[in-house]
Chain A
């Protein structure tokens, strides 16, 4: 037995033959004999998983996709656009012979140096490699022409994905990686753009070039095909409305009756159409109204049909100066836009057959609702990976470059007098491609007009809070289609996600169910060459369409064969054909990700080799012994929402990020003493989480204590905190750049003042004006004593001119008030413009305090409620004193059975000295320790089998009434800490528009008395308090109101009285207090010609 990879198009049950998979990626050493050997039990099967992960899974899909682009995709693009020809003199041309992406390197002062990713991170550079082309071109013009061949011309720089085939890190061992400042556990799969790590998220889309049958809101049946070829992307919909079938295409202003289209395609015989759809009388009946429609319109010939279509065309240019005839336009449209995936030249027959198949599918759906397609089915989805995205981007940039060069070339050639010989190649080396790639990747805004693509947020800064968070970020799948909020379908868990997309890991709230994560073993395919596969299929006995009559297309005893959505032909023995293909695949003769599936209902065979399909490995079994049994489902450990919560929280946990964490210069949260969990799972070991822990094993007593533990709060032992539990290090980056200005003046760093008013703030500075590593630093202290020239424009200043005036512009540290931090590291580097850039890493070591957030690995978060002295903490007669106390109310409603098992397993683990396993579903296969075995271990070690102990109160010394469930649980410290959130304000800044206090901690904002708080005060009747909070403490304002007209006036300082500007007098004015926001509202209404007048009752009575 071996491992096979089957695409999502294959339902797993269908594929059960013995084979060995001989085709393996060459880069990793895999013991073939070991893999091919028969596997006796389920436990042994596990050994396959690590082997699998060497080749696939985790972030490998990103790498595969990028590698495919660099090795194959980019060449295809260039091959398709390989010639630049001058319009003025066609003999002058430039031809691209080859293109390749070199190893990552950097150009500095005309010299090329190798570059390591870490250098890029530290000095804000882009980790990129030159894109080189081999060219042949004509140099010179007119009579002095010569053919020149040049190799290795750099046309731009391609950002390189880490660990891809162009990356210097590929294939390096641990020691070599360490030398380069890299972490061996880092999976790669991201880019470094201007020093930031950027991930291109996977994009989920509906699959291209496939017929999808569904029902729209009005209950009409639709068959839609989103075609995508190299040249054009289009969407074709065939709709059945009121028994009549229409074609909907963007280029037509109206729905077109389908029969007209068929006639335009050359199928003038109604009989032939009916034959092609199928001879079943039910189909004929359904087609009847459409046939009648067409006859009513009086369309019988192809010309009539084309004329009809022409009249329905959308007019783009009203002038009517279109050079080509409209009927030719219709033909072109039918050929290139309508069902663009079905390629044909002048014979439209393949399109006819395709339309017939679409009609047949619609009718199947009408007759039997089950025949509809499920848009949410994973098999109908494709995942677009970074390689494909970059490929689109590059294609656009490359084409733009070619047209630009052509334009420039023509411009130069059209000029009469030129000093030097014309040289095409000079134009190649520009920054267009480099900048385009860099900008798009760093902003994440893909705006490619050529492909009508405009999406934002495609790239994100890699989430580096924890190792798991980083991995999770790279398996994230984002939907590309718009979020229709009302529909629950796309958000729901699809059974076909099994093994491909994680059922638990999705965010809560708005994005719930839309943003997904790939599962551990899932793989996303890349494109596979279609030509050889197609001819292979022909060899396997497919009858091509061209030799079939309309009648024969759907003849019984034969199945249609679809290849990547296109009809290849039909086959008489579909199962035989499918098996043959599978055998070839397993023998490694065709790609391992080619999938074959025989659809009995639709009487078709589907073959897919396109990119973006999600695959999972399956173990192939002879005679199909079912492996998943019912009892698996009963072993789900935690309540399922808890799994989802943990997925979100595990990413916020502090801990080790990577082995190179101390060499990084960015915001970091580190744990001082991270530990490896006592109760692990096989998955943890597979992803390497055990090597980069993000938590600590705390001895937890499940009991209530002190009342400071309600609502999931935890009570912590002060002595444990003293000894380093939950202690964390926070690193924060500050930076300052010395700039150059127009007039050649430069910023400078000044010597610190050792006395005077600012001397205190400059304590941390060395004599060079930069903060020294190891110095203690407080809020508002200066990190870099920068000075800027006061005159930055005007005449040039020579470097010798020293006495120009400078002003202070220090870079200062902003941190929590009253806390002292330490300067950890200072780096000096030069940025892109060769300016000196200094970065300061500020370190703050924090011990847990009341209000800090902690979480176990079961979605059970809680804040620290109180910290208690060790002597007050309960203790067992063995002397064990818990590190923290958790309230038992956390258990019943959450149903986190896993946490209890973890406690038992960890307790057995510490007492017997062996890490225990708690993999989900692992017990029957031996990957997890059974609770019974754990209990036995506990009893052997002198504990009670149920994990409960007799505990004495630390306060009284008396034994507690109940036995307490106590043992180690892996606890994570989450990044939310009170110190960062604590905020209060008296008076402070206000928003200029409304004069109300600002919002948010960062702006030193006020605390809002919101609607609900206001309601409470109203209900209580505390009107004075309300008045104070909503008016006096917010935005009181005094206005002058005219008694006469009720409009707002103003105060005249000259006359020392209020004046009404509409009555032009100051006689009947009075003042009133109102919120400034109210005054603003009145004035805004006035600006819209609405006149609010203020007429107080009392005044009117006067």
Chain B
């Protein structure tokens, strides 16, 4: 523990934020932290999803398991999930997972009476709790609400009927992907692009153009006024090395120097809609903190010695 401290103070800068999308920079930290954050967002931020389905009537073309599987994958608004109980730890209902603290009940009744096929969608799921409802994409996507009818569960034709009761429970993505609040969580290292201006000036305009075009993504451009190559969008760079190879092929190796900044990450988070993307990040940090607390707690206790043996001493820096 002696010597210098490795503590760093990461900074977050949010670039873009919508309900289901957030893009931010994470600076002054390591890949381990960035990746931990990503992993937690995918697998350990709790949400609510349908976990138990009791089918009363199903005369649709899809069988019971099929429908149950589809229901499970419907994202439900889970802002309350952090404060809910896992039904396995729920004292109130003794773990059968049917009480208000750990579960939400849904009902679905649909029957087709017309000759046109009836789409049974997530909108037909009636919740017993107004805070936990199927995610509504109509307003956020900016489309007309008449077009947005929710997620199709099954289509019914005349005379077919579907009637069921479903219980939604809290869970995490590690157990089943339906509880994962993240559609996409990814990050990239921020590229550091330095153009060797001197060498660049030795190129003709055609050569510059050829060089700029060699990149599959639009990273560089030529300033129409000065005819200089400029970096327009460093983040569009996919670390594909094409421009470097091109420069080598042109006999001008060292034309550009590209390296990844090992302490800066650009995160892209897309949510399924269960939790707002920004909230997802906050929840993830919260979960991460809880996990760290658990480690710290076990470090303090004597049991840790028994648990880890010699390793425990190492962990404490001995």
Q: Which A residues are within 8 Å of any B CB, using their own CB?
A: 662, 672, 718-720, 722-724, 727, 729, 774, 822, 824, 843, 845, 869-871, 875-879, 938-939, 942-945, 949-950, 952, 954-959, 963
Q: Which of B61-69, B93-101, B289-297 contacts A (4 or more CB under 8 A)?
A: B61-69
Question: Contact between B216 and A945 (Cβ–Cβ < 8 Å)?
Answer: yes
Chain B, 58-77, contact with A by CB distance < 8 Å: what is the 0/1 string? 10010111100100010000
Q: State whether B187 touches A870 (Cβ < 8 A).
A: no
Chain B residues closer than 8 Å to A727, beta-carbon distance: 69
Determine which residue in A722, A723, A957 has the highest number of CB atoms from chain B within 10 A of its CB, and name it. Answer: A957
From A672, A723, A824, A963, contact of B177 by CB (8 A): A723
Q: Are B240 and A879 in contact (CB under 8 A)?
A: no
List B contacts of A878 (CB < 8 A): 186
B236 partner residues in chain A, CB cutoff 8 A: 942
State whether B39 touches A954 (Cβ < 8 A).
yes
Residues of chain B in range 1-60 having any CB-CB distance to chain A below 8 Å: 31-32, 34-36, 38-39, 42-43, 55, 58
Chain B residues within 8 Å of A662, by CB: 61
Residues in B neighbouring A952, C-beta threshold 8 A = 186-188
Q: Is the CB of B32 within 8 A of A944?
A: no
Q: How far is it, in angstroms, between the C-alpha of A567 and the C-alpha of B69 when the chains are bound?
A: 72
Given contacts A729-B66, A944-B242, 16 further A-B contacts (CB under 8 A): A722-B176, A722-B177, A869-B43, A870-B43, A871-B38, A871-B173, A877-B188, A878-B186, A879-B186, A944-B240, A955-B35, A957-B31, A957-B34, A957-B35, A958-B31, A959-B239
Q: Output the nearest chain B residue to A822 by Cβ-Cβ distance.
A: B64
Selected from A822, A956, A959, the residue in CB contact (under 8 A) with B65 is A822
Measured between C-beta atoms, what is the minimum distance from A471 to chain B in Å?
25
Give the docked Cα–Cα distance between A719 and B183 (Å). Answer: 11
Q: Is the CB of B239 within 8 A of A719?
A: no
26 contacts between A and B (CB under 8 A): A662-B61, A719-B173, A722-B177, A722-B178, A724-B73, A729-B66, A774-B58, A774-B64, A870-B173, A871-B42, A875-B186, A876-B186, A877-B186, A878-B186, A879-B185, A942-B216, A944-B216, A944-B240, A950-B239, A952-B186, A952-B188, A954-B35, A956-B31, A956-B32, A956-B35, A959-B189
Q: Inside 8 A of A944's CB, which chain B residues have their CB?
A: 216, 238, 240, 242
Residues of A within 8 A of B39 (CB): 871, 954
Is the contact region of chain B dominated by helix, strand, or loop, or is it mixed?
A: mixed
For the complex, is B260 an interface residue (Cβ under 8 Å from A)?
A: yes
Is B270 an interface residue when CB atoms closer than 8 A count as contact? yes
Q: How far apart sit A662 and B176, CA to CA, in the bound complex (Å)?
A: 29
Q: Are A871 and B43 in contact (CB under 8 A)?
A: yes
Chain B residues near A957 (CB-CB < 8 A): 31-32, 34-36, 38, 187
Contact among A870, A877, A942, A943 with B180 in the assembled complex (CB-CB below 8 Å): A870
Residues of A within 8 A of B42 (CB): 870-871
Expressed in whole angstroms, the Cα–Cα distance for A158 and B217 within the complex equals 69
A774–B177 touching, CB < 8 Å = no
Listed from nearest, the 5 A-B pairs whose CB atoms lie closest are A957-B35, A879-B184, A722-B177, A719-B177, A877-B188
Chain B residues with CB under 8 A of A722: 176-178
- The reply to whether A942 and B238 form a contact with Cβ atoms under 8 Å apart is yes
**Residue B252 interfacial (CB < 8 Å):** no
Report how far A791 CA is from B66 CA in the complex, Å.
47
Q: Which residues of B268-284 have CB atoms within 8 Å of chain A's CB atoms?
A: 268, 270
Structural contact, B238 and A950, CB atoms closer than 8 A = yes
Question: What CA separation (Å) do A822 and B242 show in the bound complex?
Answer: 56
CA distance A881 to B158 in the complex (A): 41
Minimum distance in angstroms from B237 CB to a CB of chain A: 10
Q: Kindly state the separation between the CA atoms of A1091 and B214 in the bound complex, as whole angstroms.
A: 90
Distance between A766 CB and nearest chain B CB, rounded to angstroms: 16
- Most chain B CB within 10 A, of A724, A843, A952, is at A952
Interchain CA distance A718-B178 in the complex, whole Å? 11
| Interface members, chain B 124-170 (any A CB < 8 Å) | none
Q: Looking across the interface, which residue of chain A has its beta carbon closest to that of B70?
A: A724
Bound-state Cα–Cα, A720 to B185, Å: 15
Q: How many residues of B contact A (CB 8 A)?
A: 40
CA distance A531 to B234 in the complex (A): 84
Nearest-neighbor residue (CB-CB) of B44 within chain A: A871
Residues of A within 8 A of B36 (CB): 957
Instruction: Provide the bound-state CA to CA distance between A879 and B42, in Å.
Output: 12
Q: Nearest B residue to A871 by beta-carbon distance?
A: B39
**Contact string, B236-248, partner A, CB cutoff 8 A, digits 1/0?**
1011101000000
Is B174 at the interface (CB under 8 A from chain A)? yes
A854 to B40, CA, bound (A): 31
Report the separation of the CA atoms of residues A433 and B178 in the bound assembly, to the nearest whole angstrom. 61
> Nearest residue in B to A940 (C-beta to C-beta)?
B216
Contacting residues, chain B, for A718 (C-beta < 8 A): 177
Chain A residue with Cβ nearest B217: A942
B176 — which chain A residues lie within 8 A by C-beta? 722
Pick from B55, B69, B216, B238: contact of A774, CB below 8 A: B55
Shortest distance from the beta carbon of B47 to any chain A beta carbon, whole Å: 14
Contacts of B34 in A (CB 8 A): 957
Residue of B nearest to A946 (CB): B240
Nearest A-chain residue to B34, judged by Cβ: A957
Bound CA span A959–B180, Å = 24
Contact B260 A959 (CB under 8 A): yes
Smallest CB gap from B33: residue in A: A957
**Residues of B contacting A822 with CB < 8 Å?**
63-65
Measured between alpha carbons, how far is A824 from B62 in the docked complex, in Å? 11
Residues of A within 8 Å of B216, CB to CB, are 938-939, 942-945
In the assembled complex, the CB of B307 is this many whole angstroms from the nearest CB of chain A, namely 24
Give chain B nearest CB distance to A691 CB in angstroms.
16
User: How far apart are the CA atoms of A876 and B189 in the complex, in Å?
Assistant: 11
Shortest distance in angstroms between A550's beta carbon and chain B's nearest beta carbon? Answer: 78
Question: Max chain A CB contacts within 10 Å: which of B65, B73, B268?
Answer: B65
For B178, what are the chain A residues with a Cβ–Cβ distance below 8 Å? 722-723
A843 surroundings in chain B (CB, below 8 A): 63, 65
Q: Are B73 and A723 in contact (CB under 8 A)?
A: yes
- Taking CB atoms, residues of chain B closer than 8 Å to A672 are 66, 69
Residue of A nearest to B178 (CB): A722
Tell me, in angstroms, the Cα distance from A351 to B126 when the chains sit together.
Answer: 90
- Give A718's nearest chain B residue, CB to CB: B177
Chain B residues whose C-beta falls within 8 Å of the C-beta of A724 in the assembled complex: 69, 73
Q: Is the CB of B66 within 8 A of A845?
A: yes
Q: CA separation between A915 and B178, bound complex, in Å?
A: 29
Do residues A845 and B43 form an inter-chain contact, with CB atoms below 8 A? no
**Chain B residue with Cβ nearest A662:** B61
Q: How far is the CA of A869 from the CA of B180 in the complex (A)?
A: 12
When C-beta atoms are compared, the residue in chain B nearest to A774 turns out to be: B64
Task: State in angstroms the CA–CA spacing of A958 and B34 once bound together.
Answer: 10
Contacts of A719 in B (CB 8 A): 173, 177, 180
Q: Let me know if B63 and A824 touch, CB within 8 A.
A: yes
- How far is the CB of B40 from the nearest CB of chain A, in Å? 8
Contacts of B31 in A (CB 8 A): 956-958
Nearest residue (CB) in A for B215 is A939
Q: How many angstroms between the C-alpha atoms of A727 and B184 in the bound complex? A: 23
Name B56's closest neighbour in chain A (CB-CB). Answer: A774
**Cross-chain contact B64 with A950 (CB below 8 angstroms):** no
Measured CB to CB, the nearest residue on chain A to B37 is A957
**Residues in chain B near residue A824, CB distance under 8 A:** 63
Task: Tell me whether B64 and A877 are in contact (CB under 8 A).
Answer: no
Name the residue on B nearest A943 (C-beta): B216
Q: Which residue of B lies closest to A949 (CB)?
A: B238
Cβ–Cβ < 8 Å partners of A720 in chain B: 177
- Hey, which chain A residues are within 8 Å of B173, CB to CB? 719, 870-871
Chain B residues with Cβ below 8 Å from A943 are 216
A943 vs B238: C-alpha distance in the bound complex, in angstroms?
Answer: 9
Chain A residues with CB below 8 A from B63, complex form: 729, 822, 824, 843, 845
How many angstroms between the C-alpha atoms of A722 and B178 in the bound complex?
Answer: 7
CA distance A739 to B216 in the complex (A): 75
A963 → chain B, closest Cβ, in Å?
8
Nearest residue (CB) in B for A821 is B65
**Chain B minimum-CB-distance residue to A877:** B188
A877 to B217, CA, bound (A): 14
Residue ID in chain B nearest A942 by CB atoms = B217
CB-CB under 8 A from B238, the residues of chain A are: 877, 942, 944, 949-950
